[in-house]
A and B are shown apart, each in its own frame.
Chain A
Amino acid sequence: MSDPISERHESHIVSPLLYLLVFGSLMVLTVITVAASRYDFGAWNTVVAMAIAVLKATLVVLFFMHVRWSSRLVRLMVAAAFAWLALLIGGALSDYDTRGRVNPPVEKRSPTGALLEDR
């Protein structure tokens, strides 16, 4: 499963200017992170904070870690790692968030089948 891109990657040298640009963006986004935390977005507070963090992480992954120029396989591995993390957190959350909210209707009946109480 050799991917031509990975062969090219060996000789792909990233320009230091691009690194500086990414660094600058990350600094700006850090300032925005702090500023956003002072503003009340209501229920969206956490979403905003995480969205900015995800954007920063994406910049690091794509440019500092060279995933922008990496093989399909590497990109698949990166995607899989975060997908599995989402599965763990999402799966646990789906339990807590649905407790007491979805209960199938239960009819209480006596051993002979008479309906005991309405639910």
Chain B
Amino acid sequence: MSAAAALPEPAPPKANYLNISYGVKSWLLTTDHKRIALLYMGSITVMFALGGIFAALIRLELVTPPGDMVQAETYNKLFTLHGVIMVFFFLIPSIPATLGNFLIPLMIGARDLAFPKLNLASWYLFMAGAGFAAYSLVRGGVDTGWTFYTPYSTAFSNTHVISAAMGAFIAGFSSILTGLNFIVTIHKMRAPGLTWMRLPLFVWSHYATSIIMVLGTPVIAVTLMLVMVERGLKLGIFNPALGGDPVLFQHLFWFYSHPAVYIMILPSMGVISELVSAMARKRVFGYGIVAMSSLAIAVIGFLVWGHHMFVSGQSVYAGMVFSALSFLVAIPSAIKVFNWTATLYKGSVSYDTPTLYAIGFIGLFTIGGLTGIFLAATGLDVHVHDTYFIVAHFHYIMVGGAIMGYLGGLHFWWPKITGRLYPEAWGRVAALIVFAGFNLTFFPQFILGYMGMPRRYHAYPEEFQVLNVMSSAGASILGLGYILPFAYLGWSMRYGRAASANPWGAKGLEWQAASPPLTENFETQPVVREEAYEYAHAPQERAIV
């Protein structure tokens, strides 16, 4: 059902959360979850552009085998800043802080999150963290890798480690408070009749994500605190020359940073569940299992961190256990992929922009996930550890997965957020460019890594050049694919056609609210009397055995 079908022109704009008040103060002191979502959207877009610039510089350097564009030390700063910015200041907040903040109260029929002022505080904490990261950047950057491994980061690096670590530390508390807010909201503020098993899967996935945010983030916070103290006071907590253990740092770091990757992908999976259902006009196949799989990913995700440490000196026994558990954690993710596919099967699918991103996600996430299984096998991981195989693996999930989900969700809910329709033709073109550019950038990297090209090196042997050139060419196409939505979505905010409350004809309480919604979301408290995704012609589901 195309959003561009002929609809009656909506009435002139009524009061909504955007026009209810004007002025900088009304935005900087807002407690409206929808405005806070937009504040975040602005911030993370800037951070994404910054991280993207570093990616562009990396790919430029890697067009030629010798390190001829920048010195090795500078290159180290490029990939570090790319990683720190993309992980801590883009991916971790992205969907939860923007789409999650905006949609969760709407999806559950509430007027706001449980703690609106805490929500605003979360954004300010994010900005403070970004400020420290920017300070580190401006003063010359940091070169430790986003992983801050000791003792290089604490005793040997001559770059601005403390300010970068402080930035991540503060941003971590933004994340913790957001997760806390979501959990309480989902427990306590659901509309009458909205039982747990009627919740949209987007809400389930954010609930699971929030568990990780609350229980995992504090560990990296205290670890970064120790790194800052060790570096500042020249202590030896993680420095082997002074009796410390660098592997202990890695245990503490990865205890968070592995679950963190599930913070980055679970919300995107929630988006895909919504897109697939709406675009196929069909209940999500196996709703209950998909909901439980989000929780399973969150819990099992905490049990596998040692698979980042197979070559660190960790015990063989621990390695075997972490390997087995890493195979296990793939199962709930695979379940989702099967169920999304089954949802699309025999659905009446419309190939709009959100659908393209969703289908792209399913394919690319599957590739990324399967390569994760390869890496869970200790024997194979030893061979490809710290090569481009790893880089390709996580970019397939983070970019092919998480970012495609973010873009799909952004387009799907754009009419709700802005009250405008984006130009659908441009949307589809950009989605295809993103898909093509992405694969050209990252598929060659699987081959490079398997052939032995190490990561974090600014020079490489001649025989790797062709694949590197392909990757860099892909990166420029991907970059174009990202700039296009920025342009036409921005254009649509001013010139886009006005949207009705439910341009997609989708199920979900958020589509009951106006586009854009009132500040208090609903004029009267909604009451829920049916299951989730009750589309008109659900019987197809029974044809699938």
Contacts and interface: CB of A to CB of B under 8 A. Distances in A.
A81 B441 CA distance: 41
Contacts of A81: 215
Contacts of A99: 315
Give the secondary structure class of B's interface: helix
Nearest to B304: A91
Given A96-B315, A98-B315, A91 B255 contact: yes
Contacts of A87: 302-303
B504 to A, nearest CB: 30
B317 A102 contact: yes
B4 interface: no
A84 B315 contact: no
Interface residues of A, number: 19
B251 A92 contact: yes
11 contacts: A1-B196, A81-B215, A87-B303, A92-B248, A94-B315, A94-B317, A94-B318, A95-B251, A99-B315, A100-B315, A102-B317
A119 interface: no
Given A1-B187, A87-B303, A88-B255, A95 B315 contact: yes
A87 B317 CA distance: 16
Interface in B304-346: 305-306, 314-318, 321
Interface of A: 1, 73, 80-81, 84, 87-88, 91-92, 94-96, 98-104
B316 A103 contact: yes
B472 to A, nearest CB: 38
Q: By CB atoms of chain B within 10 A, which of A87, A88, A95, A104 has the most?
A: A95
A97 to B, nearest CB: 8
Closest 4 CB pairs of A and B: A98-B317, A102-B317, A95-B318, A98-B315
Contacts of B451: none
Given A1-B187, A84-B215, 19 more contacts: A81-B215, A84-B302, A88-B219, A91-B303, A91-B305, A91-B306, A92-B248, A92-B251, A92-B252, A94-B318, A94-B321, A95-B247, A98-B315, A98-B316, A98-B318, A99-B315, A102-B315, A102-B316, A104-B316
Contacts of B219: 88
Contacts of A96: 315
Contacts of A101: 315, 317
Interface in B411-459: none
Contacts, number: 45
Interface residues of B, number: 19
A81 B302 CA distance: 13
A91 B305 CA distance: 9
Nearest to A84: B215
A109 B247 CA distance: 31
A35 to B, nearest CB: 32
Nearest to A87: B302
Contacts of B303: 87, 91
Contacts of B248: 92
Nearest to B313: A99
Nearest to A103: B316
Nearest to B312: A95
A119 to B, nearest CB: 13
Nearest to B216: A84
B315 A73 contact: no
A91 B302 CA distance: 10
A84 B302 CA distance: 9
B215 A80 contact: yes
Contacts of B315: 94-96, 98-102
Nearest to B187: A1
B299 to A, nearest CB: 10
